[in-house]
Structure 1
Amino acid sequence: MFESAEIGHVIDKDTFEAEVPALREALLEAQFELRQQGRFPVIVLINGIEGAGKGETVKLLNEWMDPRLIEVRTFDQQTDEELARPPAWRYWRMLPAKGRMGIFFGNWYSQMLQGRVHGEFKDPRLDQAIAGAERLEKMLCDEGALIFKFWFHLSKKQMKARLKGLKDDPLHSWRISPLDWQQSQTYDKFVKYGERVLRRTSRDYAPWHVIEGMDSCYRSLTVGRILLDGLRQALDRPKVRPQKVSVAPLPALDGQVTLLDSLNMTLRLDKADYEEQLITEQARFSGLLRDKRMRRHALVAVFEGNDAAGKGGAIRRVAAALDPRQYSIVPIAAPTEEERAHPYMWRFWRHIPARGKFTMFDRSWYGRVLVERVEGFCSQADWLRAYGEINDFEEQIADAGVVVVKFWLAIDKETQLERFQEREEIPFKRFKITEDDWRNRDKWGAYRAAVCDMVDRTSTEISPWTLVEANDKRWARVKVLRTLNEALEAAFERSARQARKKKR
């Protein structure tokens, strides 16, 4: 795979200097058009052999282009903040907005290669990391991102010659880094696993470009030309993407019995039972959040439900059990300009809590398969692929110790009407009712179908849905707290079992 990058590509200095002015002008023009259109972000992944010109090339790109529109990100040793969260969190929060370019050193490929080369894990885990990278890049490209992946290469002979030349030069020996010497000892393994990664992850939507790094003129011109060609193709494409041909539509639910139909909506608690059970579950929850075992976990609670189902009241009863420093509440409404400029999942990744912390989402990433689907805010292709993207997201955060608990608070149509009318009549509740609520009520059937599809496709062993009978608010609030307690206790027990296995 690397043979063509070991044959000695060279461009003489005169040719280089003759071509650079036109290339710089074209790159600048494309960069400003990228900003003006604001249709997609550009992500440039920098990988390869140490000493092959990665840093020099990026430095030159910053000189050729406007550095104000380029975000260079370096992912070295993980910070305490990053270690307390899922691995992908550090990358998601640094993604460039539409109209901008992000250059990533030490990206997800660097992490998986260094880990495998140094024996931190075996091939099965490398294969998992490769599959995860493929899913991430596919999602980003489906959201419109343009991804360039560069592997800067040197042959083993070229690498050794470079190190010897620098070592013998007192004026430039300082350029040799500890990583250079380290990689000189692990070159064969690094190339072996690098080839495996490139072979598995070079796709039509995000291909790898292998660049021979020995000659700086060849290296710089080649990277500049690839960037320019890719940018121009993306910028010149029609603004309206053609609708993808999708699979057959999901079956209609007309006349079918659904999970929502199976709920017993008559379940109730009288006031005395409610007050006793509520305080019991709140005390239990408070103790679990303060338990030392919580240091290995974070907790995410997702609240979805019919309008007027009592999500806010349930959230307040959960919060009442805790010190405000222990939790955060993230209300999800229509996306802001900043959020629209990033991939859909970006605004949710940013709020994933650190270990020991608890976040409640009042509405969530499920908006794509609920309101966006029903109201036509995204294409059918977008919400159909969202089921898989959401499952992948929840699996990633669960693997990192995040306990994900998802609630759908269900009420029947008659109860909703009563609560709407009550909100209109009581002055301090009028702010809760809007024209959108009445309009959504007219689409009750469409939302019901979307909810059933959502539960069918995203209620997994890793993060199952809990359907809450919410005609009686007291019953719903106690069930929410009890479910959170049971989920945390189950997570603590799983962690204890895993710890016992490791000791054997």
Structure 2
Amino acid sequence: MFESAEIGHSIDKKTFREAMPKLREALLDLQYDLKEKADFPVLILIHGFDGAGRGETMNLINEWLDPRLIDTVAFAEANDDARARPWMWRYWMQLPAKGRIGMFFGSYYSDALFDRVFARSDRDALDKQIFDILRFERMLTMDGALVLKFWFHLTREQQHKRLKQMEKDPASSWRVTKTDWEHYERYDKIRKSAEHILRLTNTAAAPWVVVDGEDANYRSLTVGNTLLNAVRNRLAQAQGSQAELIDAPPLLAPIDNKLLLDTLQLDQPMDKAEYKAELEKLQGRLHRLTRHPRFAQHSLVLAFEGNDAAGKGGSIRRITQALDARRYRVVPIAAPTQEEKAKPWLWRFWRHMPGKGGITIFDRTWYGRVLVERVEGFAKEADWMRAYYEINDFEHQLSENGAVIVKFWLAISKDEQMARFKGREETGFKRFKITEEDWRNRDKWDAYKLAVSDMVDRTSTSKVPWTLVEANNKYYARIKILKTICDALEVRLA
């Protein structure tokens, strides 16, 4: 990966002085075109050897461009908040919005590289991190992001010379730290691991650019021109999502029209007396499980979907009655805000994920991508088809980090829904629960039923299965939900 960066690239001062003003002007113009016209973000990742000009290049980009339109983030060791969540969480939180440039000084690649260099991981663990990175970058690029990855390179001799020069100069001596020399002592390990990482993550959609870091003029023009040409080419393409690949064949309804929801016996018996007895018992059980010492190493994510008027809100209230209000959040999901639309679609759910010991309850979820966005045509077919894979990956990362994820689809019959709609309209304090959208959704009952069947088939996994709840009887539904949560927690805490 590094051979071409070791042949001695350089640009003389005269050439640099002639090229720099034109390049700077072109980049600035392009940045404003990006802001005004683009439906995609630019993410720049800066990595490489200490002393190879990473910091100087980061500062130079901010100097040449308008820094108000650049989100520059320097990542250090993960803090307690980040360690309580999946390792990619903190990078999700800093992703740039559409029309902006995000610049990461260090990133998830630093985690993978230095875990390996300092023997915090073995080769198998490193390759797992690489696989996580590939899935993450695939999601970004399929969502339309332009990802530029730079490795600033020096030979061992060049790095030693550069660090010594910086130490002797009073203006830069403060920048050379003990860590820089520790990394220098591990130059061969860093190089070997970096070659492995770069080779496996050098994809067509997000390739690595290896930059000779010895000569500042060459380095600056290389990065500037790479950024200019990459953004210019993307602006010339059709804007918006570049997703064309579909992870599944065309989805058709079964030939006999029999769907998964058709197999449910929606009217399940339970009277009020039995309900009250079971409710008290299960709420106590849930309270004890969430106070268990081992729960501090886990989190609980409850995902509620279902037909309109199926009883999601009532079920959620019976759960929260058993919990300490300081430890849970209920997150209702509606149409995305402008801020959320400007980020990758899963960002607005990542931001609400609880840390260890926390609980988040979602009233509607990320499954809207394959339900309402599919049925109503808010997402392109390629985008919602791709979402099945992205959802499974999302939930896998949460589960691997200790989250107990319990997903519910509350199903009621069309007749029961009509009765509940009319009941809400006739009850003053319940009228707010019924909207024009609820009536419109009834007209697409069959389309939603097919979408739900496909959703369950494609996203119900052994670790994060779907629970289908027969909800014509609210008493039965609430008890089944509470029991399912308790059973799931007991398995993970055992």
| TM-score after normalising by structure 1 | 0.95
Q: CA deviation at 1:242?
A: 7.6
Number of the residue aligned with 1:181: 181
Residue 215 of structure 1 is matched in structure 2 by: 215
Residue 338 of structure 1 corresponds to which residue in structure 2? Answer: 339
- SS of aligned partner of 2:476: helix
Note the C-alpha offset of 1:462: 1.5
Residues 77/462 of structure 1: CA separation in 2 closer, same or farther (3 Å cut): same
CA contact (8 A) 1:305 1:408 kept: yes
2:427 paired residue number: 426
Q: Is the 8 A contact 2:301 2:406 kept in 1?
A: yes
Question: What is the correspondence of 1:320-339 to structure 2 with a 5 Å cutoff?
Answer: 320-339=321-340
Structure 2 unmatched ranges of 5 or more: none
The Cα offsets for residues 441-473 of structure 1, whole Å up to 9 and x where unpaired, read as: 111111001000000010001211011110000
Q: Secondary structure at the match of 2:73?
A: strand
Q: Which residue of 1 aligns with 2:400?
A: 399
Q: Secondary structure at the match of 1:302?
A: strand
Distance in structure 2 (CA, Å) of the matches to 1:461 and 1:385: 20
Q: Which residue of 2 aligns with 1:416?
A: 417
1:25 aligns with 2:25: yes
Counterpart CA distance in 2 for 1:155 and 1:407 is: 56
- In the other structure, the counterpart of 2:254 is 253
Gap change, CA 1:168 and 1:65, over 3 Å in 2: closer
- Unpaired stretches in structure 1, ≥5 consecutive residues: 494-504
Does residue 301 of structure 1 match 2:302?
yes
Where does residue 459 of structure 1 map in the other structure? 460
Question: In the TM superposition, what whole-angstrom CA distance separates every residue of 1:352-380 from its partner, at most 9, and x where no partner exists?
Answer: 00111100000000000000011110111
Q: Could you tell me how far apart the structure 2 residues matched to 1:10 and 1:325 are?
A: 59
1:324 match: secondary structure: coil
Equivalent residue number for residue 90 of structure 1: 90
Mapped to 2, the partners of 1:245 and 1:33 lie a distance apart of: 28
Amino acid across the alignment from 1:349: W
What residue is the counterpart of 1:40 in the other structure? Answer: 40
Structure-2 separation of matches of 1:289 and 1:175: 47
Cα separation, partners in 2 of 1:437 and 1:171, compared to 1, 3 Å: closer
- Distance 1:254-1:432 versus aligned 2 partners, 3 A rule: farther
2:491 corresponds in structure 1 to 490
C-alpha displacement of 1:22: 0.6
* Identity in percent: 55
SS of match in other structure, 1:119: coil
Cα distance change, pair 82–245 in 1 and its aligned pair in 2 (3 A): closer
Measured after TM superposition, the shift of residue 245 of structure 1 is 6.3
Aligned residues of 2:130 and 2:201 also touching (Cα < 8 A): yes
Amino acid at match of 1:363: R
Aligned pair count reads 493
Deviation at 1:400, TM superposition (A): 0.5
Task: Give the corresponding residue for 2:70.
Answer: 70
- Aligned 8 A contact 1:268 1:475 in 2: yes
Separation in 2, partners of 1:243, 1:170: 51
Q: CA deviation at 1:240?
A: 6.0
1:417 to partner: Cα distance: 1.1
Closer, same or farther: CA 161–68 of 1 in aligned 2, 3 Å: same
Deviations 1:74-121 (A, max 9, x none): 110111111111111101111111111111122010110000111101
1:271 aligns with 2:272: yes
Q: Any conservation in 2 of the 1:253–1:449 contact (CA below 8 Å)?
A: no
- Following superposition, the deviation at residue 168 of structure 1 comes to 4.7
1:121-146 deviations in Å (ceiling 9; x for gaps): 11111111111111101101111111
- Paired with 2:3 and 2:17, the residues of 1 have a C-alpha distance of 28
Counterparts of residues 142-161 of structure 1 (less than 5 Å) = 142-161=142-161
| Partners of 2:425 and 2:434 within 8 A in 1 | yes
Q: Which runs of 4+ in 1 moved over 2 A?
A: 163-175, 238-248, 253-259
Q: Deviations over 1:377-434 (max 9, x none)?
A: 0111111110010000000011111110000001111111111111122222111111
Aligned to 2:354: 353
1:104 aligns with 2:100: no
Give yes or no for contact 2:144–2:243 (8 Å, CA) kept in 1: no
Find the aligned partners of 1:455 and 1:420 in 2 and give their Cα distance. 26
Q: Is contact 1:113-1:193 (8 Å) kept?
A: yes
Letter in 2 for 1:361: F
Q: Distance in 1 between matches of 2:171 and 2:450?
A: 71
Tell whether the 8 Å contact from 1:330 to 1:362 is kept in structure 2 after alignment: yes
Give 3-state SS (helix, strand or coil) of 1:103's partner: strand
Q: Match for 2:164: what amino acid?
A: K
Change (3 A) 1:240 1:120: closer
Aligned equivalents of 1:42, 1:268: Cα separation in 2: 56
**Cα distance change on mapping 1:173 and 1:428 into 2, 3 Å:** closer
2:209 maps to a residue whose letter is H
d(CA) in 2 for partners of 1:261 and 1:320? Answer: 32
Q: Deviations over 1:18-69 (max 9, x none)?
A: 1111111101001111111241111001111111000000101111000111
SS of 2:55's partner is: helix
**1:251 shift after superposition:** 2.5
Deviations 1:150-191 (A, max 9, x none): 000001111122233334556643332222201111111111
* Matching residue of 1:130: 130
Distance 2:133 2:15 in 1: 38
> 1:262 — aligned with what?
263
Aligned to 2:317: 316
2:143 touches 2:242 (CA, 8 Å); kept in 1? no
RMSD: 1.4
Distance 1:2 1:242, change over 3 A: closer
Q: Distance in 2 between matches of 1:475 and 1:418?
A: 18
Alpha-carbon distance in 1 for matches of 2:240, 2:342:
17
CA distance in structure 2 between the partners assigned to 1:38 and 1:167 by the alignment: 43
Conserved? CA contact 2:299–2:357, under 8 Å: yes
| Match status 1:381 vs 2:379 | no
CA distance in 2, matches of 1:207, 1:32: 25
In 2: Cα distance, 1:292 partner to 1:248 partner:
46
Q: Is the 8 A contact 1:327 1:358 kept in 2?
A: yes
Which residue of 2 is the match for residue 115 of structure 1?
Answer: 115
1:253 is displaced (CA, Å) by: 2.7
SS at 1:206 equivalent: coil
Q: 1:488 & 1:172 partners in 2: Cα distance?
A: 54
Structure 1 stretch 249-258 or stretch 319-328: which is displaced more? 249-258
Taking a change above 3 Å as real, the CA distance of residues 351 and 243 of structure 1, as seen in their structure-2 partners, is: closer
Residue 353 of structure 2 aligns to a residue whose secondary structure is coil
